[in-house]
Structure 1
Amino acid sequence: MDRPRRTHGWKVYWKMLLLAASVLSSCFLLTRAQETTGISIRVVPELLKEGESVTLTPEGLNLKIITNCKWYRGAVEERNIIIFIRVFRFYVRHQEDGPAHPGRETGKRDCSLNITDLKPNDSGTYSFKIEDPGVTNTGATNITVSEILSNPVLQLTESLAAENTIVSLHCNTSDRLDVSILWFKDGNPVPPKTGLSDRNRTLMLTGITKEDEGNYTCQAVNPVSNAISNPSRITMAYSSDGSSSSSSGSAGALAGTVIGSLAVILVLVGTLTYVFFRVCRRNDKTSTQVVSTPQIYENVLPTGQVHPENSFSAANTYETLQPRIPSVYEEIKR
Structure 2
Amino acid sequence: MEPPSSLLPTCVPWQGLLLSASLLTIYSIPTMAEPTVESMPPAVLEGKTVLLLAHNLPDDLSAYRWFKGEGLLDKDLIIMYDMKSQEARHGKLYSGRETLHPNGSLMLYNVTLEQSGVYNLNIHSADLGQKSVFVDVSVYPLLSKPSVRSNRTAAVEGRDAVELTCEPRLLKTTYLWQLNGKQLPDDNGTILSQGNTTLTLLEVSRHFKGPYECEAKNPLSASRSIPFSLDVFYGPDTPEIFPPNKYFEEGKSLWLSCQAESHPKAQYSWTINGKPWNSKEEVFIHKTSVSNNGLYACLVSNPATGRNNSTVKEITIVEELPKPHIQIKNRTVLEHHFVDLTCVSENTGVSIWWTFNNKRLEATDRVTFSWNNRRLTIDPITKKDAGTYQCEVANPLVSRTSDPVNLAVLYQPSESFPVSALVAAGMAAEVLAGLAILGGLAYFAFFKKLDTSQTP
Taking structure 1 as the reference length, what is the TM-score of the superposition?
Answer: 0.58
Distance 1:233 1:157, change over 3 A: farther
Is 2:104 aligned against 1:99?
no
Q: How does 1:308-327 map to 2 (within 5 A)?
A: none
1:199 matches 2:195: yes
How far apart, in 1, do the equivalents of 2:191 and 2:77 lie? 46
Which runs of 5 or more residues in structure 1 are unaligned? 1-10, 251-334
In the TM superposition, 1:9-88 aligns within 5 A as 39-62=35-58, 64-74=59-69, 75-87=71-83
1:116-135 map, 5 Å: 116-133=109-126, 135=129
Moved more, 155-164 or 66-75: 155-164
Aligned to 2:182: 188
Q: Per the alignment, do residues 150 and 247 of structure 1 end up closer, same or farther by CA in structure 2, a change over 3 Å counting?
A: closer
More helix by share: 1
Query: What are the superposed Cα offsets for residues 220-244 of structure 1, whole Å, 9 maximum, x if unpaired?
Result: 0011111222322111235763656
Q: Residue type of the partner of 2:61?
A: I
Instruction: Give 2:211's aligned amino acid.
Output: N
Distance 2:117 2:304 in 1: 52
1:261-307 residue CA offsets vs partner (Å, 9 max, x unmatched) = xxxxxxxxxxxxxxxxxxxxxxxxxxxxxxxxxxxxxxxxxxxxxxx
Alpha-carbon deviations, 1:246-274, whole Å to 9, x = none?
Answer: 86379xxxxxxxxxxxxxxxxxxxxxxxx
2:150 and 2:162 in contact (8 A); partners too = no
Fraction of identical pairs, as percent: 24
- 8 Å CA contact 1:50–1:146 kept in 2: the answer is yes
Alpha carbons 2:68, 2:77 under 8 Å: kept: yes
Instruction: Kindly indicate whether structure 1 or structure 2 has the higher relative contact order, using CA contacts under 8 Å at least 6 residues apart.
Output: 1
Cα 1:86/1:158, change in 2 over 3 Å: same
| SS of residue in 2 equivalent to 1:151 | coil
- 145, 166, 172: which one aligns with 2:167: 172
TM-score (norm. length: structure 2) = 0.43
Aligned pair partner of 1:248 in 302, 306, 325: 306
Match of 2:133 among 109, 133, 139: 139
Report the equivalent of 1:217: 213
1:78 CA displacement: 2.0
Q: CA deviation at 1:71?
A: 0.4
Offset from partner CA, 1:5-40 (integer Å, 9 cap, x none): xxxxxx9xx99xx8xxx8xxx8xx99x989x8xx53
Deviation at 1:206, TM superposition (A): 2.9
CA contact (8 A) 2:301 2:307 kept: no
The 3-state SS of whatever aligns with 1:234 is strand
Give me the CA root mean square deviation: 3.5
Paired residues in the alignment total 224
Give the AA of the match of 2:169.
S
* Larger strand proportion of the pair: 2
Deviation at 1:143, TM superposition (A): 1.1
Distance in 1, matches of 2:103 and 2:229, equals: 58
The AA in structure 1 aligned to 2:306 is S
Which segments of 5 or more consecutive residues in structure 2 lack a partner in the other structure?
1-12, 234-262, 268-299, 309-456
